[in-house]
């Protein structure tokens, strides 16, 4: 590097600077300050403020009632303001003025019954906050998505559409969006809500990209405006480095360049920009000093260590085809790497020889001054050049590595490059390794194409150097890993231990879950506290769920798993909420000959014995009740051990007129057949449903 220039617009915008100033003011005054979300998209700055005492909460519920809460410049939805007010929090509003203006547009659209489209990143907090001011809102993340949304709004023929832009969006997107508006939805209202500071920063970044050999963009990887700066610079500049701070900046890719520009996103404090600039300037000064010292040393060394005859002999040294030589990288172009061999010949290696499977740029793989070893392919004495091949030399070495891996049965890594009739081809250090379909690790009828471009581990099973044939097996590696995983699970398994698993299959009585090589069964009664008819009501094949061990048998290799959260036990909730003598609104869920079952709370049913349904004699519960009825009932008994509840509607009714003696005797006889005491005792299935089995005492 010879020169470093810094963009005038780099660093904090007014909105970010204001929110940081608010935080510093409150923290300096000793205020216990909470910030809803990261204040700005800069980890270093957030860490500095947290060290001063600021605490970050992801949700309103995490913030204690009555606390001081700073709203960041991105802004929040109306519901967040309401929630903070309900918690009696002191709101310190750091929302950017431009963002507040967008909020007012969205709020007006809501009041007028219009649809709102926000052009920006759907997961960005600013966009989420804007959508929080209009119920009928949607997000377009590209010009194509905006076009689809405008078509949809036009077809619905609603009361109108309003389009706003995330304050950090690009002018290019705004321009293309307005062109689409003219063609599709002329009655849509478009508001240019891109921040003026953003426009200036992006314009300056474009200028830097055009006139500098490289541009360093400083900003958080999750910062929208910083990423836009990278995209703008990359369109006109071949070398763009994206870093968060000086520690991330690698100077080697910039060493051979003349002018390097520095710009920064709106969330980058000036001190970080200064640190990056200082690091680059120090490198420039150090390079100048090293070059001057090296020149002096080289001159002295040539004069004292080598005579003219010796230098002449080195320069006319003969190079032969097939010979292995070493040299120093002197220059790098888009097509070749020039190598100084210390002779009269100048060597060059095609850039393709350095290409790796990840598509890494040549500047990141090799640098000027590096030593490189290659094989001589062709010597041109007339032009004084030597064509070298690094790939050929690497191939020889890699064949030796592959042969050794086959002998030692070690695991190697490669990338799947193609699919053929019998299997797939994996590139391992540039060598084609054929993996038969039976050894791919996939089911018999699976598509091999799903492995393309994936990095896989395999074991070399056959090497025929004469035929240039190598065969490998992915299945051998996965099978071994699976056996080790299974052994580890059985060694460490214990009741109550939790695992992340995948639902493999469903039956009528439960779900089988793979917890890392071992299948366990979640019984239907352990899937949900609620009443379900089949496992598919809760989970599906392929779902990733968190389960815990209820029981296991190492001899039979069977594991019983639980899925429903013990903390959500409806019986516990019932016991916290009700006691004997309480009156509860209940829902009739099932009618039996001896009474009716009613849901007291979700997951807990009680029995209303036929004698407790009305203050008169009835022949069957259906004369008074229907499934789905909601009635008030008194809790007359609770069996905590058996989790059973007895209910009474009759206890809330006024006494019936005295019955004739004959009728009383008949009623007493019927009650002897179905006494009230039996209302407490009934059977419940494993799913938590009433089985309809008659009370225990009457079975005798």
Q: Which residues are catalytic?
A: 126
327 forms beta bridges with: 372
10 Å CB burial of residue 668 (0-12, 13-18, 19+) is: exposed
- CA separation for the pair 396, 393 (Å, rounded): 5
Angle, in degrees to the nearest 10, between helices 97-111 and 14-28: 110
Token reading at 449 = 């194409």
How many CB atoms are located within 10 Å of the residue 327 CB?
Answer: 23
User: Which alpha helices (DSSP H) does 264-365 contain, by range?
Assistant: 270-305, 308-315, 362-365
Token reading at 442 = 């996939």
- The one-character DSSP state at 240 is E
548 forms beta bridges with: 498, 562
Tokens 């109306």: give the residue.
78
- CA separation for the pair 104, 121 (Å, rounded): 20
Instruction: Write the DSSP assignment of 512-580 as a string of letters.
Output: EEESSS-EEEEEGGGT-SS--SSGGGT--TT-EEEEEEEEEETTTTEEEEE-S-GGG-HHHHHHHH--T
Token reading at 242 = 């994206």
- CA separation for the pair 339, 367 (Å, rounded): 11
How many CB atoms are located within 10 Å of the residue 220 CB?
Answer: 23
- CA separation for the pair 25, 42 (Å, rounded): 19
Whether the CA torsion 661, 663, 669, 672 is positive or negative: it is negative
378 three-state secondary structure: strand
């Amino acid at each position: 590097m010879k020169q470093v220039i810094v963009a005038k617009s780099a660093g904090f915008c007014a909105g970010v600077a204001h929110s940081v100033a608010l935080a510093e003011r409150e923290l300096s005054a000793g205020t216990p300050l909470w910030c809803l979300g990261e204040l700005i998209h800069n980890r270093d700055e957030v860490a500095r403020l947290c060290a001063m005492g600021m605490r970050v909460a992801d949700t309103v519920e995490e913030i204690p009632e009555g606390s001081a809460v700073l709203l960041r410049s991105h802004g929040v939805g109306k519901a967040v303001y309401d929630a903070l007010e309900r918690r009696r929090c002191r709101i310190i509003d750091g929302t950017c003025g431009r963002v507040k203006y967008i909020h007012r547009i969205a709020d007006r659209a809501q009041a007028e019954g219009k649809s709102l489209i926000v052009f920006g990143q759907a997961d960005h907090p600013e966009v989420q906050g804007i959508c929080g001011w209009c119920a009928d809102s949607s997000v377009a993340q590209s010009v194509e998505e905006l076009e689809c949304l405008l078509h949809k709004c036009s077809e619905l023929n609603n009361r109108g559409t309003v389009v706003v832009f995330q304050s950090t969006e690009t002018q290019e997107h705004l321009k293309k969006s307005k062109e689409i508006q003219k063609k599709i939805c002329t009655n849509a209202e478009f508001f240019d809500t891109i921040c003026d500071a953003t426009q200036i920063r992006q314009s300056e970044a474009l200028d830097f990209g055009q006139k500098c050999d490289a541009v360093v963009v400083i900003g958080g990887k999750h910062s929208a405006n910083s990423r836009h700066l990278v995209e703008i610079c990359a369109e006109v500049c071949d070398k763009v480095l994206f870093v968060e701070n000086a520690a991330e900046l690698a100077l080697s890719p910039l060493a051979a360049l003349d002018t390097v520009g520095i710009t920064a996103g709106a969330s980058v404090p000036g001190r970080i920009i200064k640190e990056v600039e200082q690091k680059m300037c120090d490198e420039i000064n150090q390079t100048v000093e090293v070059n001057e010292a090296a020149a002096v040393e080289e001159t002295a060394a040539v004069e004292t260590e080598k005579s003219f005859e010796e230098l002449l002999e080195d320069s006319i040294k003969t190079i032969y085809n097939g010979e292995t030589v070493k040299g120093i990288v002197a220059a790098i172009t888009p097509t070749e790497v020039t190598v100084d061999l210390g002779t009269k010949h100048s060597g060059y290696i095609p850039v393709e020889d350095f290409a790796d499977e990840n598509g890494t740029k040549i500047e990141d793989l090799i640098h000027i001054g590096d030593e490189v070893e290659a094989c001589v392919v062709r010597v041109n004495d007339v032009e004084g050049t030597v064509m070298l091949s690094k790939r050929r030399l690497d191939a020889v070495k890699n064949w030796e590595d592959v042969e050794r891996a086959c002998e030692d049965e070690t695991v190697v890594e490669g990338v799947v490059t193609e699919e053929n009739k019998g299997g797939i081809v994996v590139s391992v250090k540039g060598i084609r390794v054929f993996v038969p379909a039976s050894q791919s690790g996939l089911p018999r009828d699976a598509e091999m194409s799903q492995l393309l471009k994936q990095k896989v581990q395999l074991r070399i099973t056959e090497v025929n150097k004469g035929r240039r044939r190598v065969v490998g097996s992915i299945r051998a590696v996965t099978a071994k890993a699976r056996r080790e995983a299974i052994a580890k699970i059985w060694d460490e398994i214990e009741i109550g231990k939790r695992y992340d698993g995948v639902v493999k299959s469903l039956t009528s009585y439960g779900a089988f879950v793979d917890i890392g090589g071992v299948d366990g069964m979640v019984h239907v009664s352990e899937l949900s506290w609620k009443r379900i008819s089949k496992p598919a009501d809760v989970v599906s094949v392929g779902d990733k769920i968190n389960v815990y061990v209820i029981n296991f048998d190492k001899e039979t290799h069977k594991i019983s798993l639980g899925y429903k959260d013990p903390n959500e036990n409806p019986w516990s909730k019932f016991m916290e909420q009700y006691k004997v003598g309480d009156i509860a609104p209940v829902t009739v869920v099932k009618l039996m000959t001896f009474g009716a079952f009613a849901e007291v709370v979700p997951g807990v049913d009680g029995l209303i014995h036929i004698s407790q349904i009305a203050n008169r004699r009835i022949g069957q519960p259906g004369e008074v009740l229907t499934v789905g009825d909601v009635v008030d009932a008194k809790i007359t008994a609770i069996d905590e051990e058996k989790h059973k509840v007895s209910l009474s509607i009759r206890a809330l009714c006024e006494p019936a007129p005295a019955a004739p003696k004959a009728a009383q005797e008949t009623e007493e006889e019927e009650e002897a057949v179905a006494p009230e005491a039996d209302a407490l005792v009934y059977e419940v299935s494993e799913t938590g449903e009433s089985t309809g089995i008659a009370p225990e005492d009457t079975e005798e």
